[in-house]
Structures are given as C-alpha cells and as structure tokens.
A and B are shown apart, each in its own frame.
Chain A
C-alpha cells in the first residue's frame, strides 16, 4: 500500500502530485461533451412537471381532462395514478427526528412553491409545457410561514402535523456554565447566513429507459450518487436491484445539490415503465430555483466568553436552521455541522450548543458545498474579530492565541453523530497556516494603508477567515484497477464526478502505483452495472477516499504484475520494479517485460504460472476510512467599500490551504478558487428571497445574482501540506474549503473597512452595508433631510 518509490508527491518525474493537464479537456473543449440534455434515444418523449404555485395549500381537485383530450398528450400522471410509493428518505434521521418526509408527488397538500403535483409527457419539451398549462388544479390556499422563528412560535401554521420543529440537537462539551460565570467579557451577537441556491450551470436532468426485453430500467441521471439512486429506485419501483442500471454522463457541475434523490427520479422512471418509451426530463432554470434543494439558511445566537488577553473561555450557541418544507436525504448535516464545527481551529474549553431544525414553506434544504461549515466559520470568525475590537487587539493575534497547537493533534472534539462519526482533528498546523497567510497577504502593511485611505475618504479593510473542515467522509468508496492485455490500465471508481477532473486525478493515482503515464490509464465512472459498489462525489472525499481505494486496488494489481513478471523474467519479485510501462529487473535494464505481455500471460486460454491461480490482472478495493480527514485553511481578503453606495469591491483574496498531500496542484487550485467564488457569491450577491407568503422573489438569473468575472478578484492560492495519518498517501479533502473560508474573510474585511458599523449577516448587499454605515454615523444618506 505504500507509494512505489521514495520520490515525494510533487516530484516532476512522478504523475502523483504533478500539475498535469486534464485528460477530460480536449474532448470538452472541442464540443464533445455529452451532458444529459445532449442525449437522444429512439422514440424518446419529453416530460414537464406541473408544480405548485402556492407555498401552502390543500389540493381540492386536479382536473386532467383537458390535458388528456389534447392529441399531443402521451401521458398525464398525478398522485392518484401512482401505487403507494414510500416517500423520499432521510438517511441521517435520528430517533427523535419527526418523519416529515416528502412524497414523490403531492397528494392532498402542497408545502412549497415548486412541489410536483403532476407530470405530463409529450413529443418534446415545448409541447409538454403547453400541456402542463392545461392541467387544472384547484387549491385551497393555507397560511404559509417562511420565517424559521415564526414557524416555531405557538400559533404558527402547522405544515405537517403537531409542530414545525423537526428536531433539536444538543451538545455540551466542558463546563460552559462555569466558563461564563465570572468571565471577564462576554459578547452576544446574532449571526445570520442566507439561503443559497446551488445553480450549477447545468440544471438537473434524467432520461429513464425501460427495456421490455430484459424487464429492466436504465436511468441516465446527472446525479452525484448513482449507486445510491439505484438502491433507492429499486425500492420505490418494486424492481430487483439487478433490474436497475444508473448511468451518469458528463455532469455540468453539482456542488452538492445533485446528491439528493429527487421525486423526478421516481416519477420519470415510473412513466418510462408505463409508456414503454424513454422519457427525458430536463429541469429548467426556474425549476432549479424552486425544485432543487437550497442550502445554508441558518441563524446563530452566539455568546462568547473571554478573558482580558482574548483567550476564549467558552461558547454558547443557539442555532436555528430553516430546512424548508420537508426532510431530504441529509437534512441534519447542516444543523449538525453548523454547531459541531463552530469552534473551528480554536481550543475552546467549553461549548454548549442547541441546534433546532425548523420546517417552513420554502423549498427543502440539503447539503451544498461547504454545508454548515460556512455558517460556523462566518459566526466564529466574526466573533473573534469582535473580541479583538473589544480588547483593542490585533485579530490575527487573538487567533494565534486561541488556535489549537499542533502538538495537541490528533484531537477528539467530543462531538459526533451517526453519519460523521466522532470528530477527531487528525493533523495540521493552524498557526503556521495563519502566519503564512499573513505573510503572503502583507497583512502587517495594511493597517497603515487603511488609515491613509480613511484620511482620503476611502474605506478599505482586511479580514481573516480561518476554518477547519470535515472532509473525506465515508462510508466507503470503491476502486477497481485492471491491466488489460493491451497494456492499458482501466480504473473503475464509484466516485461519480461532476466536473472536478476525476478522470485525471484517479489516473494519476493508478499511474503512480503502476509506473505508467496517465495517458495509459482509462478511468471509468458513473455506471452501476460496471461499478458494483460505489457511493459518489460529495464532502470533499474523492481524493481522500476514492483515491485511496484506487491506490489500494492498484497496489494489489501491481503485486500480481510483479509475481507474474517474476515468473516470466525468472527473477525474484523483490528484485523487480515497475517503470515506464514495464516490469524491470533492478540493475539489469535489458531484462524487462512490458505490462501488455504480463497481462497477456495470464489471459484465459493461457496456462497460468505456478502460484498464480486467477486469470487476469485485476483488483478491487472498497475502502472504508477509519475516520474523516480535517482540512483547514486561512483566507485573507481585502476590500474597498464605496461609501456612496455601500458596494463592496474585493481587492485581493489570498488562501493558504491544507488538503494534505496534493494529487494535482492545478486541479486543487481550481477547486479552491471555484469555492472562493462561490463564497464571494454568498458574501456579497446571492440570496434566495421569498415573500412572506412563500413566493420566491428571484427564481431566475436576472435576479439571483451569481458572481461574474469582475466581482471576483484574482484568487491567490498556496498549498500547505501536512499529510493526514488516516490514509497512506496523506490526502485530505479539497473541494469545499474555498467556499467555507471566503464569506468569513470577506465579512471581516467589510467590517474592518466600515468599523464601527455592524456586520453580522450575509449577503453584504450594498443596501445592507449602506444602512449599517448610516446607522454607525459613517455616512449620511443624501436626501435624508427631506
């Protein structure tokens, strides 16, 4: 299982650790991508979903007669046409969690705008949309509630039954009572993070194809978790697992929102079975805003106790998550991580956290890139800056003082749950990370610049965002490595990608182990018939979990190659090495066997060498990490606030990031930078807004503002490497940290620029920033004398 030679990751001679260009790209760049919407099947029909226009209403009747009379209609489906189907699952529910699960289609009641009420099928999507307009649904509107605190008040409209409180998670570490008693200082503040929409540029989509001959279903889906979808569909459709194949084509971004198993996956499959025709459904952008899970909406009422030096004594947090109308597959992750990872890289002796989960009439939430961590980092990092302000200390120094020292790692944090397991920080050097970030951002110089700018009437600020992130989650991932008689290496991975570059990084792992170039490796993903065991891509886990499985499988394949080659070369296996696509006798370069010859030697039909009892060279590993890996980073942002408008302009953004050993620095840079941009969106631009009666106010790209190029600065990333002991390669996750650290750093920078104005909520829209500045007396609005 060890790496094949002494060369370190990053050695230019070694594919593992090298900034290799991606194998996927030439095809994508020539227009050869094949995303779900690009696919056509013989006889394929198109579906459109009729969705609730009400946030909360009883369904009185559904009249499909006009739709059915239209000669272009191929099918109309409502709840009445379906057999009893189990609702969507919540896999992380605790015993105490109320079972407010979502039906695959609304029957008697709708609970958010966008909930599926009927599905229509026609020859193409435009016609299907015409027919969808003919389905007449009579509703009795009910009072809606969108505010999570109001939802938990007595007398609030009850959305399911009895209560809108799904669950309350409670954690107590150390003696928080004692920590606050007689603490020299306590700061109390409310921190709010808004609702984001995932908005990959490719929306969700699927094609269900029923094969009458084999009585089996192929679902092509843009999911992040094909094997999970397969298991779920088998149960819902009453088919044996062997009758369902889930295939994933190119996926145009996912960011977590394609991890949920959605109603459409059941409904479209059901229609394909009924019609005996392939049925395609491609979500449109409006649907994406109402029918794909959101993330983040969370309130933290935080109290933090500290001494005169800024040493944190204890934290109390009362957290509410607005999870929307129904439980989804991983509803409890956001409320759990939001408090469990609150204290981030800091040694906090006492923590008491209560995390309540409220149901409201909004689109359901589910994990989304940086789940929970974003709010935790925003809350804690703002609080630390407030401590520094109160004591007139440098915020960087307060952080250095409180950071967990390296020698304390590994460190069990005394918190855990069913899915995440026990939180044990594995490895790192938080202080060094911060120090390096201060250095590369020229932090020391900034104070003078800020003062000079203030004298000129300009508002500039600098902010730090430090975080620790739970990455590399289990439960497991599979990897299969096969050496073909042609000499090509085939890698199968259950980590189905959505743009991250798995075909390259996983090839780097296998190539490293087998001494070949990545051009010789073909990585196969996204097909449950080929990949028996697999989970998917989420929680920054592919390099740290899927990569380890590939490493292990490749190592086993390597061992067999050496044993066969030993026979062929009449040498001892221990005298052999793998390099340049061949097994060579060390010190005897003339004596070697190319991989193709070795693999051919054990093909069926050959007489196997003594001691070899299986044909082919192939190995599979299903790797279950013993624990999660904990990545971390420090972001430093510099901003300028336009005092006339409240508009925030990012001047610089620096990241020092530790994802452990880096498989491909180019790809990891991109992951971090993309995460930062998402964080910029959350810090400054993005918010899914609802009216009080639950109507989405900005379900389109004109009004939901995604970061564009001029809103994001050049993002400078430096990787710091403290390998994890959890896996042999020392790899931790890297997919989400960018999104986690950025909002905290940006908010702190804005707060620094407009001190003493209050900054406790995102997004920091111009109107919000301007109002805060006006309240603090920094500016006075024109026309205010009117």
Chain B
C-alpha cells in the first residue's frame, strides 16, 4: 500500500498531509483533521451522511479517496459558518422547523441544501426533492426537512449571503 502527500484546502485552511492510498476522504477528514461532523452512515455511497462540498459541489466523501481530493477545496459542516458567527440560514431554518432529530444525517443534508440554495435561492419543488433525495433520514419523515428548506429559501431570499462568506 502506498502513501501519498496531499495538499488541499479545508474550511479555508491549507492542509498538507500524508495519507494511505486506501483512506477515504471521509476517514481522512474525520481521523486526520478531526472534522467529525462528516458522518459515516453506510460507507457505500447511499445514505448521504458524509456529504461535503468539494470545490463548491455537494459530494459523498465515502466514495472519494483522500488522494483524489489532492488540490481540492472542501467545506465541511464545521466550516459552513465560523463558530462565532450566526447560524447559516439553512442551519437556522433546520432549527426553527425541527428539521432534525438525532442529527446524524443532518450535516450532509445541510450542506446539500446550502449548495442548492446558493445556486438557486428559490428552487422548484422537484429540485428540492432531487437534492434531499440524495440523503436518507430515518428520524424525521422528511416533512419538517421540507419545511426547513422552504424556510431557508425564504431567509436567503430576504437576506442573501454565500456559503462560507464569513470565514
């Protein structure tokens, strides 16, 4: 098994690390960088809990090797807003509308929805369903997640901002 040096930007910070060839990006973020908001729910690319933004696009991290992310810019939930900043509108809306219960699938969902609303603050219902459809939530039954997305859309349209703006 080979080891490789990779350089990538994670939540605004440059990281230069050695990784095993087999280490997934999810394990790299969790184990090497201690960014544990990126959760592993299935490790085979279905549940969406491990979703982050890679170069601004939502993507699974259990289906990407850390070596493949060399040169990439990554935003995890920890980096969506700084610790001393207000919640991002998507986070705020999930809180207001009870869009989470156990919180395990939430990080991936929040990032996917943040990406969607940044691209289109007023998405069609079909676009919303397509994006949430890439995530499995076992707790909420999705009704309140859908309400949260609608609320986030409203908040963003009323006060536009961009992902990671506050970093």
Q: Are any A and B Cβ atoms less than 8 Å apart in their complex?
A: yes
Query: A-side interface residues toward B, CB under 8 Å?
Result: 21-22, 24-26, 28-35, 37-38, 40, 124, 126, 199-203, 250-253, 255, 284-285, 498-501, 666-667, 669-670, 673-678, 700-702, 706-710, 712, 714-715, 738
Inter-chain contact B141/A30, CB cutoff 8 Å: no
Q: CA separation between A126 and B35, bound complex, in Å?
A: 19
Query: What sequence of 0s and 1s flags, for each residue 137-167 of chain B, a beta carbon within 8 Å of any chain A beta carbon?
Result: 1111111111000000000000000000000
When distances are taken between beta carbons in the complex, the residues of chain B under 8 Å from A675 are: 141
Closest to A33 in B: B103
Known contacts A21-B96, A37-B40, A255-B138; decide if A126 and B22 are in contact (CB<8 Å): yes
Q: CA separation between A770 and B132, bound complex, in Å?
A: 29
User: Is B121's CB within 8 Å of the partner chain A?
Assistant: no
Closest chain B CB from A737 CB (angstroms): 13
Inter-chain contact A253/B138, CB cutoff 8 Å: yes
Closest to B102 in A: A499
Query: What sequence of 0s and 1s flags, for each residue 55-84 of chain B, a beta carbon within 8 Å of any chain A beta carbon?
Result: 000000000000000000000111011010
When distances are taken between beta carbons in the complex, the residues of chain B under 8 Å from A712 are: 141-143
User: Is B15's CB within 8 Å of the partner chain A?
Assistant: no
Q: CA separation between A284 and B27, bound complex, in Å?
A: 13
When distances are taken between beta carbons in the complex, the residues of chain A under 8 Å from B141 are: 670, 673-678, 707, 712, 715, 738
Closest to B78 in A: A31
- Partner among B22, B27, B102 whose Cβ is within 8 Å of the Cβ of A201: B102
Closest chain B CB from A675 CB (angstroms): 7
- Partner among B44, B77, B138 whose Cβ is within 8 Å of the Cβ of A674: B138
Inter-chain contact B98/A21, CB cutoff 8 Å: yes
When distances are taken between beta carbons in the complex, the residues of chain B under 8 Å from A34 are: 36
Known contacts A677-B142, A702-B46; decide if A285 and B41 are in contact (CB<8 Å): yes
Inter-chain contact A708/B101, CB cutoff 8 Å: no
- Partner among A37, A500, A709 whose Cβ is within 8 Å of the Cβ of B146: A709
Closest chain B CB from A60 CB (angstroms): 32
User: Is B117's CB within 8 Å of the partner chain A?
Assistant: no
Extra contacts, 11 of them, besides A28-B100, A28-B106 (Cβ < 8 A), are A31-B80, A33-B39, A33-B103, A38-B36, A126-B20, A252-B41, A499-B102, A670-B140, A701-B46, A702-B46, A708-B133
Closest chain B CB from A744 CB (angstroms): 17
Known contacts A35-B39, A251-B102; decide if A499 and B139 are in contact (CB<8 Å): yes
Q: CA separation between A706 and B103, bound complex, in Å?
A: 17
List which B99-127 residues lie within 8 A (CB) of chain A: 100-107, 110
When distances are taken between beta carbons in the complex, the residues of chain A under 8 Å from B87 are: 26, 29-30
Closest chain A CB from B48 CB (angstroms): 9
Q: CA separation between A32 and B39, bound complex, in Å?
A: 12
- Partner among B40, B42, B133, B140 whose Cβ is within 8 Å of the Cβ of A710: B133
Q: By the criterion of a CB under 8 Å from any partner CB, how many residues of chain B are at the interface? A: 55
When distances are taken between beta carbons in the complex, the residues of chain A under 8 Å from B137 are: 201
Inter-chain contact A500/B101, CB cutoff 8 Å: yes
Closest to B40 in A: A37
Closest chain A CB from B138 CB (angstroms): 5
Inter-chain contact B140/A677, CB cutoff 8 Å: yes
Closest to A126 in B: B22
User: Is B91's CB within 8 Å of the partner chain A?
Assistant: yes
Pairs across A and B, CB under 8 Å, 25 listed: A21-B96, A22-B95, A26-B95, A29-B103, A30-B87, A31-B36, A33-B104, A34-B36, A35-B39, A252-B102, A252-B105, A253-B102, A253-B104, A285-B43, A499-B139, A670-B144, A673-B143, A700-B44, A701-B47, A701-B136, A708-B132, A708-B136, A709-B129, A714-B146, A715-B141
- Partner among B47, B106, B136, B144 whose Cβ is within 8 Å of the Cβ of A29: B106
User: Is B10's CB within 8 Å of the partner chain A?
Assistant: no
Closest chain B CB from A267 CB (angstroms): 22
9 closest residue pairs by CB, A with B: A499-B102, A31-B37, A252-B104, A677-B141, A28-B103, A673-B141, A701-B46, A38-B36, A31-B77
Q: Interface residues of A: mostly helix, strand, loop or mixed?
A: loop
- Partner among A31, A253, A701 whose Cβ is within 8 Å of the Cβ of B44: A701
User: Is B49's CB within 8 Å of the partner chain A?
Assistant: yes
Q: CA separation between A633 and B126, bound complex, in Å?
A: 32
Inter-chain contact B106/A714, CB cutoff 8 Å: no
Inter-chain contact A709/B132, CB cutoff 8 Å: yes
Q: CA separation between A40 and B35, bound complex, in Å?
A: 12
Q: CA separation between A32 and B83, bound complex, in Å?
A: 10
When distances are taken between beta carbons in the complex, the residues of chain A under 8 Å from B43 are: 284-285
Closest chain A CB from B82 CB (angstroms): 10
- Partner among B94, B103, B144 whose Cβ is within 8 Å of the Cβ of A673: B144
Closest to A742 in B: B141
Closest to A703 in B: B46
Closest chain B CB from A638 CB (angstroms): 16
Query: B-side interface residues toward A, CB under 8 Å?
Result: 20, 22-23, 27, 30-31, 34-37, 39-44, 46-47, 49, 76-78, 80-81, 83, 87, 91, 94-96, 98, 100-107, 110, 129, 132-133, 135-146
Inter-chain contact A253/B101, CB cutoff 8 Å: yes
Inter-chain contact A202/B145, CB cutoff 8 Å: no
When distances are taken between beta carbons in the complex, the residues of chain A under 8 Å from B41 are: 201-203, 252, 285
- Partner among A38, A677, A709 whose Cβ is within 8 Å of the Cβ of B133: A709
Q: CA separation between A675 and B83, bound complex, in Å?
A: 33
When distances are taken between beta carbons in the complex, the residues of chain B under 8 Å from A709 are: 129, 132-133, 135, 142, 145-146
Inter-chain contact B101/A199, CB cutoff 8 Å: no
Inter-chain contact B83/A706, CB cutoff 8 Å: no
Inter-chain contact B144/A201, CB cutoff 8 Å: no
Inter-chain contact B78/A30, CB cutoff 8 Å: yes
Closest to B37 in A: A31
Closest chain B CB from A256 CB (angstroms): 12
Closest chain A CB from B21 CB (angstroms): 11
Closest chain A CB from B112 CB (angstroms): 11
Q: CA separation between A23 and B115, bound complex, in Å?
A: 26
Q: CA separation between A465 and B4, bound complex, in Å?
A: 58
Q: CA separation between A675 and B138, bound complex, in Å?
A: 9
Q: CA separation between A669 and B97, bound complex, in Å?
A: 11
Q: CA separation between A29 and B90, bound complex, in Å?
A: 9
Q: CA separation between A252 and B36, bound complex, in Å?
A: 13
Closest chain A CB from B155 CB (angstroms): 14
Q: CA separation between A126 and B140, bound complex, in Å?
A: 32
- Partner among A29, A200, A702 whose Cβ is within 8 Å of the Cβ of B102: A200
Known contacts A255-B138, A701-B42, A712-B142; decide if A31 and B98 are in contact (CB<8 Å): no
Closest chain B CB from A770 CB (angstroms): 24
When distances are taken between beta carbons in the complex, the residues of chain B under 8 Å from A501 are: 101
When distances are taken between beta carbons in the complex, the residues of chain B under 8 Å from A26 are: 87, 91, 95
Q: CA separation between A441 and B41, bound complex, in Å?
A: 36
When distances are taken between beta carbons in the complex, the residues of chain B under 8 Å from A706 are: 136, 138
Inter-chain contact B39/A669, CB cutoff 8 Å: no
Known contacts A677-B140, A702-B44, A709-B146; decide if A29 and B95 are in contact (CB<8 Å): yes
Q: CA separation between A678 and B139, bound complex, in Å?
A: 8
Q: CA separation between A26 and B110, bound complex, in Å?
A: 13
When distances are taken between beta carbons in the complex, the residues of chain A under 8 Å from B39 are: 33, 35, 37, 201-202, 252
Known contacts A674-B140, A709-B129, A709-B145; decide if A29 and B98 are in contact (CB<8 Å): no
Inter-chain contact B143/A715, CB cutoff 8 Å: yes
- Partner among B95, B136, B138, B143 whose Cβ is within 8 Å of the Cβ of A21: B95
When distances are taken between beta carbons in the complex, the residues of chain A under 8 Å from B142 are: 673, 677, 707, 709, 712
- Partner among A32, A124, A202, A674 whose Cβ is within 8 Å of the Cβ of B104: A202
When distances are taken between beta carbons in the complex, the residues of chain B under 8 Å from A738 are: 141
Inter-chain contact A710/B46, CB cutoff 8 Å: no
When distances are taken between beta carbons in the complex, the residues of chain B under 8 Å from A676 are: 141
Closest chain B CB from A668 CB (angstroms): 10
Q: CA separation between A678 and B101, bound complex, in Å?
A: 14
Inter-chain contact B100/A201, CB cutoff 8 Å: no
Closest chain A CB from B25 CB (angstroms): 14
Closest chain A CB from B27 CB (angstroms): 8
Closest chain A CB from B158 CB (angstroms): 19
Known contacts A29-B110, A715-B143; decide if A35 and B104 are in contact (CB<8 Å): yes
Closest chain A CB from B132 CB (angstroms): 4
